[in-house]
A and B are shown apart, each in its own frame.
Chain A
Amino acid sequence: MIDRIASFGRSSIGFVISIGRAGQFLGGVLSGIPRPVTGFPLLLKQLYSVGVLSLAIIVVSGLFIGMVLGLQGYTILSDFGSEAAIGQMIALTLVRELGPVVTALLFAGRAGSALTAEIGLMKATEQLSSMEMMGVDPLRRVIAPRLWAGFIAMPVLAIIFSMVGIWGGMLVGVEWLGVFEGSYWGNMQASVDFRDDVINGVIKSIVFGFVCAWIAVYQGYDCVPTSAGISSATTKTVVYSSLAVLGLDFVLTAVMFGNF
């Protein structure tokens, strides 16, 4: 019994230490004055690799999720004769929840894992060490642009996801199942509030972007520089990011929409 308590205590201390190290790491990355002349091209390059290259998976997933929502929504709502509310249902579901959450999960799988593997390999091949020895801080040169790129790209990707999803829902609901187009868009316009729904959704995706990018770059930077270490760090990135996104989503939803 005492052994179990001791081992629980040990793992808890380990967890707190790793949180502390991740916080220290974040402080190191964000401290210092940004240098726009050298930093901006590096940021653009990372925005391309984590943002633009993630577009395909975001657009395709958004389209299918919107289409499935259209089908399911129509099936359920038509039982009550209220299939005209399908536009409202799809838009609220996407803007408030599925847009930010699914984008973040896809982002963790597509861009987060790539960031971890890239930084881990740079560590394993001593590229980060050689940068340090050249008097260049890898936290500023390698990590910071990737962290900021994730932070900026996520809300944009989430907005694109929701837009494509709404369009996919319309394809199924209006074009295929014959819901009146005016009521699809009209109900949506009447019920989706810009501040309460759209802005709150964007805030969620900003938080998710920050957390996912932080986890990804930290796991890469802190990994054991071997093939097994990089593989484990990549897995951890996806698992921790997904859990953090789902947990934070509950907290944010309770704060934003829980008018109890």
Chain B
Amino acid sequence: MEAKDLKVRAMGLGSYISLKDVVFSRSGRRIFNGVTVDIPRGKITAIMGPSGSGKTTLLRLIGGQLRQDSGSLTVDGHAISELRRKELYKFREKMGMLFQSGALFTDLSVYENVAFPMRVHTKLPEDMINDIVLMKLEAVGLRGARKLMPSELSGGMNRRVALARSIALDPELIMYDEPFAGQDPIGMGVLVKLIRDLNSSMGLTSVLVSHDVKESLSICHYACIIADGKVIGTGTPEELQAHPSEQVQQFLNGHPDGPVPFHYPSSAATEDFGLAGGAS
């Protein structure tokens, strides 16, 4: 953590998002128990961790859809939980989020989905909206699909249109929620390229939540692994690969047994099989 902070400072980037001792519980379950992460400006940061470790919850905290119980969370210097409803909605215009399902509006065409944020937030003339929509669709390679409805798109195309929509207002921050989940190798390759290109061409701060280790580490500048409500490892991809923690190594290399046990906690096998007392 400290090594990464030093590196971030040395590069003169500063953190765009900063979480300090964030505690969050839901339905009586503690999801985060003192998470501290700094996400540098203009870089791709991958948040990784096993399923159910609260990665998506972290994105929702950053986006202000959930509020932490304690600790501080700032985005571009603003304490998200202290913003008023109207200020929060205004602030979100600087954020883009790619949902796992794409979350396209099913009653609007591809074109109208991408035009939606501009129609709501700007007073741009129709011909300018048209140009921007076509440029954004061109960037994700789907200019030709503008007349299709979301139900006519494949899963990968759906996500690419959603990506075009989330960059429609040229945000400063873009959050990807499991962008590679359920993608075929080509779709995955396309998304990896798009995330990398968007980051370098637009200078976006990108937060990538995923459990696809290989793809995430191939494009991120920094990564952070969350498990059991805490950050268990953080650093550049190379630093993580050499991380001494067994739990980090188990996650990165996909070992079936280790600090996260293969067996769900249970009573002694001898008891369940009725062998207690030393049967022959």
Contacts and interface: CB of A to CB of B under 8 A. Distances in A.
Interface string B48-76: 00000000000000010100000000000
Contacts of A136: 89, 117, 120
Given A126-B101, A126-B103, A132 B120 contact: no
Interface residues of B, number: 24
Given A134-B116, A134-B117, A134-B120, A129 B65 contact: yes
A126 B65 contact: no
Contacts, number: 49
Contacts of A38: 120
B89 A125 contact: no
B201 interface: no
Contacts of A132: 63, 65, 89, 92
Contacts of B120: 38, 134-136, 141
Nearest to A32: B86
Interface in A92-141: 125-127, 129-130, 132-137, 141
Contacts of B103: 125-127, 129-130
B169 to A, nearest CB: 8
B70 to A, nearest CB: 23
Contacts of A126: 99-101, 103
Interface string B151-166: 0000000000010011
Please classify how large the interface on chain A is, using the bins under 10, 10 to 19, 20 to 34, 35 or more.
10 to 19
A134 B162 CA distance: 12
Contact of B97 (A125, A130, A141): A130
Nearest to A137: B89
Nearest to B117: A134
A132 B175 CA distance: 14
A222 to B, nearest CB: 15
A133 B65 contact: yes
Given A125-B106, A127-B105, A127-B106, A135 B99 contact: no
14 contacts: A126-B100, A127-B104, A127-B106, A129-B99, A129-B103, A130-B99, A130-B103, A132-B65, A133-B92, A134-B116, A134-B165, A135-B92, A135-B120, A135-B121
Interface of A: 38, 125-127, 129-130, 132-137, 141
Interface of B: 63, 65, 89-93, 95-97, 99-101, 103-106, 116-117, 120-121, 162, 165-166
